[in-house]
A = this chain, B = another copy of it.
Amino acid sequence: MLAQATIAAPADAGLALPSPYLLFLGDATQASYAKTAFGLRDWSGDRCLGEFAAPGGTVTTGLPRLTPVAARARGACAAVIGVAVEGGQIAESWILPLVEALDAGLDLVSGMHQRLSDVPALAAAAARTGRRLIDVRVPPPGIEVATGRKRSGQRLLTVGTDCALGKKYAALALARAFAARGVDVDFRATGQTGIMIAGGGMPLDAVVSDFAAGAAEMLSPDAADGHWDVIEGQGSLFHPSYAAVSLALLHGSQPDVVVVCHDPTRTHIMGLPGFVLPSIATVIDQTLALGRLTNPAVRCGGVAFNTAALDADAAAAVIARESDRLGLAVADPIRGGPTFDALIAACLG
């Protein structure tokens, strides 16, 4: 019953997710925990039809608020869990709304660590309704231990001063900008949202740790000399929970260029007030020191700021000031403009 209902995301083959989507926002009250929903709205907006939530949820993507029945009537094919909670468990409070979605005739798509089919009420509802339970955070088979062998082609990895501050958006924007300049480029997704957007990738934080660097090697194979893989970063080397995922990705990606992502309004690691955010210079130094193990020529292409919390003038001012201070290209990839052009030029070298 369950085996046929679970679909894994292969590293190099396309995911055919049923769409349009109805985005599920759980009981989130902070937008930062709904980054999957926002990522899909912003980068796969043509596939997003509306949103719904569990009782208590206050976050909104701005898409129409629809019941599962209403969304199905408008053509929705799947409810996508749009919240990314620490630990990746499916909350008790989500189960009733998700069963309601299955009953309305929607498939379920999830990027949680916990499998949808491991929740008895969801497995029963899927069996009863004949709907599919699709987990995208399932590593593909055949991941091997990393070798450290240098691969052909060029690689850019986004890294961060923290989690959840724009590494995926920066990578997507850079990949799009590279393509617009005629560069042969692939966006390589490493997290559940990126995988949903790209239709494939490697759920790096779901890989057994002995194989995590090997999984990163598998994600960006040998390529033509002029080809770029723009790889979505994960976590932060300075995050006490997730630094190991970041290091596996850094070593396995063997990037030629790293772009440090930063939110200039953030002072502490998100959710961990005891941990002060590292400086951008510290992150650059540590990333290059560790990255040299698998690519002695790794360099910092510049810094991507997430200035969503600032108005245009304040954003421009902090970008100019920090660019001067660091002596590096600094830009907000989402705002674009001449500073972003300079960042792209610095990355392409």
Residues of A bordering B, CB below 8 Å: 86-88, 113, 144-149, 204-214, 237-238, 240-245, 247-248, 251, 272, 274-275, 286, 289-290, 293-294
Q: Which of A241, A286, A290 has the most CB of B within 10 A?
A: A241
Which residue of B88, B145, B237 contacts A87 across the interface (Cβ within 8 Å)? B145
Contacts of A211 in B (CB 8 A): 87
Contacts A148-B240, A241-B147, A241-B148 given; indicate if A209 touches B204 (C-beta within 8 A): yes
Given the complex, which residues of B lie within 8 Å of A210, measured CB to CB? Answer: 88, 113, 205-206, 241-242, 245
A86 B145 Cβ-Cβ under 8 A: yes
Each complex incorporates copies of this chain amounting to 2
CB distance from A151 to the nearest CB of B (A): 12
CB-based closest 8 A-B pairs:
A148-B240, A244-B248, A205-B210, A146-B241, A244-B244, A209-B212, A209-B209, A244-B247
Given A251-B240, A289-B286, A245 and B209 touching (CB < 8 A)?
Answer: yes
Given contacts A86-B145, A205-B208, A210-B113, contact A244 B245 (CB under 8 A): yes
CB distance from A106 to the nearest CB of B (A): 28
B-side contacts of A207, CB under 8 Å: 208-209
A-B residue pairs in contact (CB < 8 Å), sample of 23: A87-B144, A113-B208, A113-B210, A145-B241, A146-B240, A147-B240, A147-B272, A148-B274, A148-B275, A204-B209, A208-B208, A208-B209, A210-B245, A213-B242, A237-B290, A238-B293, A240-B251, A240-B293, A243-B251, A244-B244, A244-B248, A286-B289, A286-B290
Measured between C-beta atoms, what is the minimum distance from A259 to chain B in Å? 21
Q: Which residues of B contact A290 (CB under 8 A)?
A: 237, 243, 286
| Assembled-state Cα–Cα distance A274/B88 (Å) | 38
A236 to chain B, nearest CB (A): 10
Instruction: Please name the residue on chain B nearest to A278 by beta carbon.
Output: B293
Report yes or no: A209 in contact with B272, Cβ–Cβ below 8 A. no
Which B residues are in CB contact (< 8 Å) with A145? 86-87, 241-242
Tell me, rounded to whole Å, the shortest Cβ–Cβ distance linking A342 to chain B: 31
Q: How far is the CB of A248 from chain B (nearest CB, A)?
A: 4
**Neighbouring B residues of A144 by C-beta, 8 Å:** 87
The 8 Å CB contact of A243, one of B88, B247, B275, is: B247
Bound-complex Cα distance A214 to B87 (A): 10
A272 to chain B, nearest CB (A): 6
Additional A-B contacts beyond A210-B242, A244-B248 (17; CB < 8 A): A87-B145, A146-B240, A147-B272, A148-B274, A205-B209, A207-B208, A208-B209, A209-B212, A209-B245, A209-B248, A210-B245, A213-B240, A214-B241, A237-B290, A240-B293, A243-B251, A247-B247
- Complex CA–CA separation, A132 to B271 (angstroms): 45
Q: Closest approach, in angstroms, between the C-beta of A278 and any C-beta of chain B?
A: 9
Chain B contacts of A237 at CB under 8 A? 290
